[in-house]
């Protein structure tokens, strides 16, 4: 086994958490598989995924119980990391996205970080991802967004923040996205207030999901998006236009 690779793997998995051996099974995506019998087999599986990602440009590291993104680019190598356009890190244990975690993925277009435990996103974490089209942060523990945190994502069309713990929306959260964003999923958060005219600023938005929030004054929500067609059912507000 390549000693350099194994060393990097141990760093990644110690930071990212090798809980696999305690359960004798692991989750791959949303399906269940038996755990490889040894560290060697696990490393082999990871190497297989990395090789496939380098060849296809789509890297699937879902269900590895990763606790951090740090170290993935080192395992890929400088040449390969620039080829990656799709990165699936769903169903892991990632709790934070730090400023330098994604800096090597400059050509990334699709990023899936759903079903993790993210509570912290540093304000410049997505700065390197200027080609990003789709970002899925659904099913995490995010409590707040920061002003201008997506200001570099001028090509982003789809943003999923569903099933988090967000309570407030501010106009500045979406700076940089008003011309490109077509779909926003904010369902199943704890949103209690929508700033006046927030969604009117989006030029291409055609789907907005706010179901399962705590917004009580529906007239305010409706007036927020004039000349649109709201569908309201109890605590559900989904818009198509």
Comparing 233 with 7, the larger pLDDT belongs to 7
pLDDT at 5 (0 to 100):
57
Mean pLDDT to the nearest integer, 144-163 = 94
pLDDT score for 70: 87
Whole-number pLDDT of residue 198: 86
Q: How far apart are CA 184 and CA 29, in angstroms?
A: 23
Which of 17-21, 150-154, 180-184, 197-201 is predicted with the least confidence, judged by mean pLDDT? Answer: 17-21
Q: What is the pLDDT of residue 199?
A: 87
Q: What is the pLDDT of residue 58?
A: 97
Nearest alpha-carbon partner for 94 in 59, 126, 131, 137: 137
Mean pLDDT of the chain: 80
Say if CB 140 and CB 97 are below 8 A apart. Answer: no
Question: Where is pLDDT greater, at 183 or 10?
Answer: 183
**Beta bridge partner(s), residue 191:** none
Written as six digits, the tokens of 27 are 């989750």
Q: Is the pLDDT of residue 178 over 80?
A: yes
Residues 146 and 66: their CA atoms lie apart, in Å, by 25
Q: Where are the domains of the chain?
A: 3-240
Per-residue pLDDT band at 7 (split at 50, 70, 90): low
Q: Which fold does the domain 3-240 belong to in CATH?
A: 3.80.10
The torsion angles phi and psi of 28, rounded to 5 degrees, stand at -120, 110
- Integer Cα distance of 122 and 145 in angstroms: 10
**Local confidence band at 45 (pLDDT 50, 70, 90 cut-offs):** confident
The answer, yes or no, to whether residue 181 has pLDDT greater than 60, is yes
Closest CA to 162 of 197, 113, 225: 113
pLDDT band at residue 194 using 50, 70 and 90 as cut-offs: confident
| Mean pLDDT of the region 103-110 | 97
């Amino acid at each position: 086994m390549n000693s350099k690779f194994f060393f990097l793997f141990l760093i990644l998995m110690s930071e990212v958490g090798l809980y696999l051996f305690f359960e004798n099974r692991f989750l791959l995506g949303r399906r269940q598989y038996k755990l490889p019998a040894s560290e060697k087999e696990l490393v082999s599986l990871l190497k297989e995924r990395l090789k496939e990602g380098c060849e296809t440009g789509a890297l699937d590291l879902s269900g590895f119980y990763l606790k951090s993104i740090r170290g993935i680019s080192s395992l890929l190598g400088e040449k390969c990391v620039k080829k990656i356009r799709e990165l699936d890190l769903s169903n892991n244990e990632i709790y934070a996205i730090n400023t330098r975690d994604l800096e090597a993925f400059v050509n990334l277009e699709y990023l899936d970080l759903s079903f993790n435990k993210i509570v912290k996103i540093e304000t410049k974490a997505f700065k390197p991802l200027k080609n990003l089209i789709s970002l899925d942060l659904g099913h995490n523990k995010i409590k707040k967004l920061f002003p201008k945190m997506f200001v570099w994502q001028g090509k982003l069309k789809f943003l999923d923040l569903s099933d988090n713990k967000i309570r407030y929306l501010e106009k500045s959260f979406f700076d940089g996205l008003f011309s490109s964003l077509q779909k926003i999923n904010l369902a199943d958060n704890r949103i209690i207030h929508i700033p006046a005219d927030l969604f009117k600023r989006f030029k291409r938005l055609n789907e907005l999901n706010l179901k399962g929030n705590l917004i009580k004054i529906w007239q305010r929500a409706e007036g927020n998006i004039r000349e649109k067609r709201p569908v309201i059912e109890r605590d559900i507000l989904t818009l198509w236009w």
